Structure 1
Amino acid sequence: MADMSTLASRVRSIGRGLAVTTAVGAAAGAAATGYGLWEKNQFVLREESLAILPPGYGPLRVLHLSDIHFIPGQRKKADWLASLAELEPDLVVNTGDNVSHVKAIGPVLDALRPLLRFPGVFVPGSNDYYAPRFKNPASYFTGPSSTPKTPVALDWPRLRTGFGMSGWVDLTNRCQSLVVDGLRLDFSGVDDPHLRLEKYAGWPRGTRGQDTKPHLRIAVAHAPYQRVLDHFTEDAADLILAGHTHGGQICLPGYGALVANCDLPTWRAKGLHDWESNGRTTPVNVSGGIGTSRFAPVRIACKPEAVLLTLTAKA
Structure 2
Amino acid sequence: MAASDGLAPTSGRALARVAGRTTAVLATGAKRTALLAGMAVSAGVAAAAYGWWEKDQFRLREETVAVLPAGSRPLRVLHLSDIHFVPGQNKKARWLAGLADLAPDLVVNTGDNLSHVEAIDPLLDALGPLLRYPGVYVPGSNDYYAPVLRNPASYLLGPSNTRPLPTRIPLDWRRLSEGFGAAGWVDLTNRSQSLAFNGTRFDFSGVDDPHLKRERYADWPRGASGHDRKPHVKVAVIHAPYQRVLDHFTGAGADIILAGHTHGGQICLPGYGALVSNCDLPTWRAKGLTTWEHAGRWAPLNVSGGIGTSRFAPIRVACRPEAVLLTLRAKS
TM-score by length of structure 2 reads 0.92
Q: Secondary structure at the match of 2:327?
A: strand
1:299 is aligned, of 316, 322, 332, to: 316
Shift of 1:51: 1.2
State how far apart, in whole Å, the 2-side matches of 1:221 and 1:265 are. 17
Superposed counterparts of 1:150-161, under 5 Å: 150-161=167-178
Same amino acid, percent of matched pairs: 68
Equivalent position of 2:298 in the other structure: 281
Question: Which structure would you say has the larger Rg?
Answer: 2
Superposed counterparts of 1:102-113, under 5 Å: 102-113=117-128
When the two chains are superposed, the root-mean-square deviation of aligned CA atoms in Å is 1.3
Shift of 1:64: 0.2
State how far apart, in whole Å, the 1-side matches of 2:270 and 2:213 are. 32
Superposed counterparts of 1:250-265, under 5 Å: 250-265=267-282
Shift of 1:55: 1.5
Equivalent position of 2:189 in the other structure: 172
State how far apart, in whole Å, the 1-side matches of 2:114 and 2:123 are. 7
Shift of 1:211: 7.6
Equivalent position of 1:270 in the other structure: 287
Out of 79-88 and 130-139, give the one that drifted further.
130-139
State how far apart, in whole Å, the 2-side matches of 1:220 and 1:192 are. 10
Segments of 5+ residues of structure 1 without an aligned counterpart are none
Partner deviation per Cα, 1:64-106 (whole Å, 9 max, x = no partner): 0000000100011000000000000000000000010111011
Equivalent position of 1:135 in the other structure: 150
Equivalent position of 1:30 in the other structure: 45
Superposed counterparts of 1:63-78, under 5 Å: 63-78=78-93
Q: Which amino acid aligns with 1:119?
A: P
Shift of 1:8: 2.4
State how far apart, in whole Å, the 2-side matches of 1:300 and 1:286 are. 18
State how far apart, in whole Å, the 2-side matches of 1:211 and 1:124 are. 32
Shift of 1:14: 1.4
Shift of 1:182: 2.0
Shift of 1:149: 4.0
Asked if 1:189 corresponds to 2:189, the answer is: no
Equivalent position of 1:47 in the other structure: 62
Equivalent position of 2:134 in the other structure: 119
Q: Are 1:90 and 1:181, in contact at CA under 8 Å, matched by a contact in 2?
A: no
Shift of 1:179: 1.2
State how far apart, in whole Å, the 2-side matches of 1:257 and 1:24 are. 24
Q: Which amino acid aligns with 1:252?
A: L
Equivalent position of 1:198 in the other structure: 215
Q: Which amino acid aligns with 1:183?
A: T
State how far apart, in whole Å, the 2-side matches of 1:156 and 1:227 are. 25
State how far apart, in whole Å, the 1-side matches of 2:228 and 2:79 are. 26
Asked if 1:7 corresponds to 2:16, the answer is: no
Superposed counterparts of 1:91-102, under 5 Å: 91-102=106-117
- Do the aligned partners of residues 72 and 210 (structure 1) sit closer, same or farther apart at CA in structure 2, a change above 3 Å counting? farther
Aligned residues: 315
Equivalent position of 2:5 in the other structure: none
Q: Are 1:218 and 1:239, in contact at CA under 8 Å, matched by a contact in 2?
A: yes
Partner deviation per Cα, 1:252-301 (whole Å, 9 max, x = no partner): 11111111111011110001111000000100100000000111111111
Shift of 1:208: 6.9
Q: Are 1:61 and 1:89, in contact at CA under 8 Å, matched by a contact in 2?
A: yes
State how far apart, in whole Å, the 2-side matches of 1:178 and 1:132 are. 34
Q: Secondary structure at the match of 2:160?
A: coil
Shift of 1:206: 2.1
